Structure 1
Amino acid sequence: MTVETTGFATRAVHAARNQGTASSRAMPIYLTAGFEFDDFDHAAGHFGTGAGFGYTRTGNPTVHAVERQLAALEGGADAVLVASGQAAVVTAFLTVAGAGDHIVSSTHIYEGTRGLLLDNLARLGIETTFIDEIGDPEAWRAAIRPNTRALFAESIANARNDILDIAAVSAVGDEFAVPLIVDNTLATPYLVRPLEHGASIVVHSASKFLAGHGSVLGGVIIDDGRFDATAAGHNAPHLVLPGRGGLASVAARHGGRARIAYARESVAPRFGASPSPLNAFLIGQGAETLGLRVERQSLNALEVARWLSAHDAVESVDYVGLETHPDHALSARYLHNGHGSIFTFTLRGGLDAARTFVEGVSVFTHMTHIGDVRSLVLHPGTTSHAHRTEDERAVLGVRPGTLRLSIGIEDVADLLADLDRVLSVVDRTLDHADLEPVGEAAA
């Protein structure tokens, strides 16, 4: 039977079918739910070994190509692409921890991750201890328990720009055969590659710098491929014990890549975290220009931060690229191509000044996102950190007048002109407030 001899509905479904080979220089988009098997044994072999592609939830050529790309950028052995940054974090945690286990985390992390640890993983029997002084290895060491299964922190913390001493913290983890998981979203592999400093796993919200254009969601988990079943098997029985039905253990089948293989086989697809191939394609396209964008964004951010630090309306600027930042010296050990482009600054006028700023900018965009080619602004105290107590916000450097900037690739002169125009209004408001009579003099 040929397509030409079939009915209209059959032709509509099958006429476009093409099994010919074609070599595309750009990454092809395999936008399909499933893949055709060559024969009966091909299907059986795929389900028996996992080789090849059968269904996009468990593997897709477009997704796989981006995984190779991102693993190479981070210097990792392998990667698993998932549907969002939050999916990457939870997949990483569930790859190493289960009911009755414990995680040690930095306090200075994304609020969504903090909520995941406190609300969701806690309900699954995974407890978390938070570390305020993340620069003190002894604080990490003291928090580790016999059931600790991971240490977690961000390479550049949001929002105070704290820098993680990756080598020092990973060394503490190594003493107990506990992997360090680093969220490298703010730094990107262009600025620092945590696996090269001893971290075991890196996660990203690929929605941010990796994709770069604020158009798609995605996340990625990248593993160092150095899981040692002999040294760490007691902390990962799910990786070293035989599987259901006498299946060889994950470690026996995958060796040093056991962690990432478990994430790929047993966590991401079963929890439904698989990404769209179209999103994967756009993340891959964005990653191709990652270095160019981050270089430009970092240069712009440094100039903006210096300009803000000299302005009368600004009380403080928390940007690690400034010599005044407490982690500036530490950043020199880890950040070699710039200092990133996300930071906070605090206005002298408090909440009212922050409102004037947010509602007055025109080049900056007011939205909850970071790592975009566009420059963005957000008020953490009433948005991302609204559910923290006042004392907790103070510890994190979030005050009523604090604003978070994510600097884009625009001409920096236009960014400074926008800031100058808005802060001149803030200045006038502050000057007017200073002139207002108070107390009995106002009566």
Structure 2
Amino acid sequence: MTQSADEGFTTRQVHAGSDARAARPRALPIYMTAGFPFDGFDDAAAHFDQGDGFGYTRTGNPTVDAVERKIASLEGGAQALLVASGQAAVTVVLLGLVSAGEHIVCATHIYEGTRGLILDNLARLNIEVDFVDDVNDVAEWESKIRPTTRVLFAESIANARNDLLDIASIARVADGHGIPLVVDNTFATPYLLRPIEHGAAIVVHSASKFLAGQGSVLGGVIIDDGRFDAVRSGALYPHLTGTGRLGGSSLAERHGGLARIAYLRETVAPRLGPTPSPLNAFLVGQGLETLSLRVQRQSENALIVAEWLSTRPEVASVDYVGLPSHPHHALAGRYLARGNGSVFTFTLRGGIDEARSFVEALRVITHMTHLGDVRSLILHPGTTSHVRRTPEEREAHGVLPGTLRLSIGIEDSADLIADLSRGLDASHPPLETVEAVREESGALDVVVAA
């Protein structure tokens, strides 16, 4: 819009120069705007009626849309929906599929935020849950399904024991009941594993982690396989197949196999409001361009580090699916051909005092709550992520007083091992060093007494 010099100063400062010249950028442009002008009266009506074009960033943004299409392609899904965090992605999916009085079957070994969402928040909505202890026990999954069950939920690589989900087997259970298997694929990433290719219906990620990769932004994403079957499953999800409160065609009639994600995009996400910033979407998109390079390097480093830790006498155990000692290592040969991921736990001989000394001696590995960063990170689950579990629950989940979680980055592996060695030296000093300290302390006591 060209402004006239006759218009007032305040009018010109708002409108002059707002019509950027058209150009074709090589990098994804950031559409940092709350809304978009309509070209005409009928364009506005078409947008609100059919969803054509873009009207308001809470319901759609070109930057966000481009990143969604990239993630859908990488995961092998039909469509993706980007939201403000991984927690928002799980919340939107579950609230989009499960109604009051209905039921979820969920793996026990999941992110504590997801567990809290189900047990604290969804329970207040009269949504019930049963947990499956052995993630690959088909009979246990089958036995927990009720007529009111609407979702099976699990993680591809679980927090914290590194359990690997046999996706194809559990997906067959879900499919047999006409309900979706939802898989949190954050730890594996689509470079290592694509659950939809093995039968999962929906995949979620905390895009804050590996997808972004730089530890700078929050984001979450939902990917749908686009195969919702209204004939087979419509009775279970009447909000997808029935006429809405305003009448008209159902979502299944308008969107076919995309009815599930259409409901999440049109009804759940915009009304709950976990809208991603276009800037955050841009940074996630930038991270995606190097995803395979980072994840390959991180997986290679993780295997080197895990193998080294497994040889150390100070370490009681290493829970990494890439090691032959892990109970799901053989399954990893089927699902994780490109690498075994880079997040795992190991347990020191000793308890919390040794863990504290270990963490505080590190210089390269960063102590913080996060994972999937280019930087290597460490956390003590027993006093952080799993602190609200009972000691018995923590032990059942492989979280002992001496357990530490590593997220391995892209640093030189020799530097990581040197840093971990520094931690072991601090937490488990050689016996002769301990005796020397005791002798020195004793001699000091004699001098003081004299």
Q: Which TM class, normalised by the smaller chain length?
A: over 0.9
Please state how far the C-alpha of 1:211 moved relative to its aligned partner: 0.3
Please state how far the C-alpha of 1:429 moved relative to its aligned partner: 6.6
After TM superposition, list the pairs within 5 Å mapping 1:339-350 onto structure 2: 339-350=340-351
Cα distance change, pair 351–435 in 1 and its aligned pair in 2 (3 A): farther
Partner of 1:196: 197
Paired with 2:341 and 2:206, the residues of 1 have a C-alpha distance of 15
- Contact kept in structure 1, 2:209 and 2:215, CA below 8 Å: yes
Tell me the alpha carbon deviations over residues 188-232 of structure 1, each in whole angstroms, 9 at most, x when there is no partner: 000000000000000000000000011000000000000000011
The answer on 1:56 being equivalent to 2:57 is: yes
Paired with 1:19 and 1:413, the residues of 2 have a C-alpha distance of 50
Find the residue that maps to 1:268 and give its secondary structure. helix
- Contact kept in structure 1, 2:219 and 2:280, CA below 8 Å: yes
Find the residue that maps to 1:161 and give its secondary structure. coil
Partner of 1:422: 423
Tell me the alpha carbon deviations over residues 18-44 of structure 1, each in whole angstroms, 9 at most, x when there is no partner: 154211111000000000001111111
Paired with 2:320 and 2:407, the residues of 1 have a C-alpha distance of 11
Letter in 2 for 1:100: G
Tell me the alpha carbon deviations over residues 358-412 of structure 1, each in whole angstroms, 9 at most, x when there is no partner: 1110100000000000000000000000010111111110000000000000111
Find the residue that maps to 2:183 and give its secondary structure. strand
Find the residue that maps to 2:369 and give its secondary structure. coil
Tell me the alpha carbon deviations over residues 83-130 of structure 1, each in whole angstroms, 9 at most, x when there is no partner: 000000001111111111100000000000000000001111111111
Letter in 1 for 2:78: A
Please state how far the C-alpha of 1:16 moved relative to its aligned partner: 2.2
Please state how far the C-alpha of 1:178 moved relative to its aligned partner: 1.0
Paired with 1:380 and 1:258, the residues of 2 have a C-alpha distance of 39
Letter in 1 for 2:115: R
Partner of 2:394: 393
Paired with 1:434 and 1:144, the residues of 2 have a C-alpha distance of 59
Cα distance change, pair 172–433 in 1 and its aligned pair in 2 (3 A): farther
Letter in 1 for 2:48: F
Find the residue that maps to 2:428 and give its secondary structure. helix
- Contact kept in structure 2, 1:312 and 1:427, CA below 8 Å: no
Cα distance change, pair 436–149 in 1 and its aligned pair in 2 (3 A): farther
Tell me the alpha carbon deviations over residues 207-266 of structure 1, each in whole angstroms, 9 at most, x when there is no partner: 000000110000000000000000111111110001122121000000000000000000
Partner of 1:98: 99
Cα distance change, pair 244–408 in 1 and its aligned pair in 2 (3 A): same
The answer on 1:22 being equivalent to 2:26 is: no
Q: TM-score, normalised by structure 2?
A: 0.95
Letter in 1 for 2:429: R
- Contact kept in structure 2, 1:371 and 1:406, CA below 8 Å: yes
Partner of 1:316: 317
Structure 1 segments unaligned to the other structure (5+ residues): 438-443
Q: Please give the root-mean-square deviation of Cα atoms over the aligned residues, in Å.
A: 1.5
Structure 2 segments unaligned to the other structure (5+ residues): 439-450
Partner of 1:277: 278
The answer on 1:174 being equivalent to 2:179 is: no
The answer on 1:165 being equivalent to 2:166 is: yes
Find the residue that maps to 1:130 and give its secondary structure. strand
Please state how far the C-alpha of 1:312 moved relative to its aligned partner: 1.4
- Contact kept in structure 1, 2:3 and 2:12, CA below 8 Å: no
Paired with 1:105 and 1:275, the residues of 2 have a C-alpha distance of 27
Q: TM-score, normalised by structure 1?
A: 0.96
Paired with 1:148 and 1:218, the residues of 2 have a C-alpha distance of 28
Number of corresponding residues = 437
Partner of 1:369: 370
Tell me the alpha carbon deviations over residues 388-439 of structure 1, each in whole angstroms, 9 at most, x when there is no partner: 01111111100000000000001111111111122122221777779999xx
Same amino acid, percent of matched pairs:
66
Paired with 1:262 and 1:173, the residues of 2 have a C-alpha distance of 20
- Contact kept in structure 2, 1:349 and 1:430, CA below 8 Å: no
Partner of 1:440: none
- Contact kept in structure 2, 1:109 and 1:154, CA below 8 Å: yes
